[in-house]
Homo-oligomer: A and B are copies of this chain.
Amino acid sequence: MNKYCFGIDVGGTTVKLGLFNEAGDVLDKWEIKTIVDDNGKHILPDIAKSVEAKLAEKKIEKDQVVGIGMGVPGPIKADGVILKAVNLGWGTFNVAEELGRLTGLSVKVGNDANVAALGEMWKGGGQGHANIVMVTLGTGVGGGIIVDGRILTGANGAGGEIGHMHINDEETEKCGCGGVGCLEQVSSATGIVRVAKKYLAGTDKASVLRDQAVSAKTIFDAVKAGDEAAAEIADIFGKYLGTALANVACVADPEVFVIGGGVSNAGPILFDFIKKHYQKVVFAGCKDAEFALAMLGNDAGIYGAAKLILDK
């Protein structure tokens, strides 16, 4: 009998869903809107309806379904309890139990960044490895840590929250998390722009960045074109991120760091700036960790969610 599973990635605006076979091939992929009204109480029923409809459409019986894996944007404990998901309007409740009740299927839930890391390990930039650290450099800095093929969830669902590692005592502005001096403030897509603006304001050095909107993309394009100021900005970014990843290495000692998110569109040139500082300060035993680009883009979540339930 063919077996199937669902991999679901819940975001603040859309829910991505995938139907997989046991080998991890995605058989179908679709999206529904995330209705955050009424404290997000429609989200799980909408997902359940979409799953039921897909089963009917594909003529799949429930006993052919291993279950549903799902990533959600918030801290999730190992038992499926979410502590809070601001973007969805959710407070504390057992997401896995609730979706299980609605669908009659086995459900496993994880934090979205952690689940994406599992996806990249399974079918993406971390393929062939069982110990990876994934860093997503987007609007924020997300992190997910896979140890021996499994998500490091942690006591409070905060395992892999490396975007909020304190790496800058000089910082004065607050991070979105309420802290001050977080990695996210200097290494996210918005963070590197902050770094650039501060750098450019403090020097008279010529730069093509003065004549255009500054973004992670324009900064690294300028680096590639030989712009000195841009290279110095990239170096500041690399120093913070490389040092932070060296700190991560002496805790989790991964085989590979997988870098994703918008900033990673700059490509392998990123690694020049990160590895230079990483290798300078990292514990000797971790010096040879690989660096790889994420490969699954926005699909990492549904792949990881599928893997989560297949491994249950």
With A75-B285, A166-B281 as given contacts, are A158 and B255 in contact (CB-CB < 8 Å)? no
Which residues of the partner chain B approach A161 to less than 8 Å between Cβ atoms?
Answer: 250, 253, 283, 285-286
A187 → chain B closest CB, angstroms: 14
B residues less than 8 Å from A165 (CB atoms): 246-247, 250-251, 283
Closest Cβ neighbor of A182 among chain B residues: B283
Which of A11-19, A44-52, A149-157, A258-266 is the interface stretch? A149-157
User: What is the distance, in angstroms, from A77's C-beta to the closest C-beta of chain B?
Assistant: 10
- Cβ of A188 within 8 Å of any chain B Cβ, yes or no, is no
Check if A253 sits within 8 Å of B285, measured CB to CB.
no
Contacting pair A158 B285 (CB below 8 A): yes
**Chain B residues whose CB sits within 8 angstroms of the CB of A284 once the complex forms:** 164, 177-179
A295 on the B face (CB < 8 A):
no
Say yes or no: is A160 at the interface (Cβ < 8 Å to chain B): yes
Question: Cβ of A162: which chain B residues have Cβ within 8 Å of it?
Answer: 250-251
With A78-B148, A155-B255 known, 6 other A-B pairs at CB within 8 A are: A147-B159, A152-B253, A154-B252, A156-B288, A160-B251, A248-B251
Contact: A250 with B164, CB < 8 Å?
A: yes
- Number of A positions contacting B (CB below 8 A): 47
Chain B residues, CB < 8 A from A253: 152-159, 161
**B166 in contact with A247 (CB, 8 Å):** yes
Residues in A19-75 with C-beta less than 8 Å from chain B: 75
| A145: interface (CB < 8 Å) | yes
Which residue of B156, B246, B252 contacts A286 across the interface (Cβ within 8 Å)?
B156
Complex CA–CA separation, A243 to B160 (angstroms): 17
A184 to chain B, nearest CB (A): 10
- Decide if A200 is an interface residue (CB 8 Å cutoff): no
Q: Is A231 in contact with chain B by the CB < 8 A criterion?
A: no
Task: Evaluate contact between B281 and A158: CB separation under 8 angstroms.
Answer: no
Query: How far is it, in angstroms, between the C-alpha of A131 and the C-alpha of B143 when the chains are bound?
Result: 19
6 A-B pairs closest in CB distance: A154-B253, A166-B281, A158-B285, A164-B283, A155-B255, A158-B253
Q: Nearest Cβ in chain B — how far from A18, in angstroms?
A: 27
- A-B CB contact pairs (8 Å), 16 listed: A131-B154, A148-B150, A152-B152, A154-B286, A156-B253, A156-B285, A157-B285, A158-B285, A161-B253, A161-B283, A162-B251, A164-B284, A166-B282, A179-B282, A179-B284, A180-B281
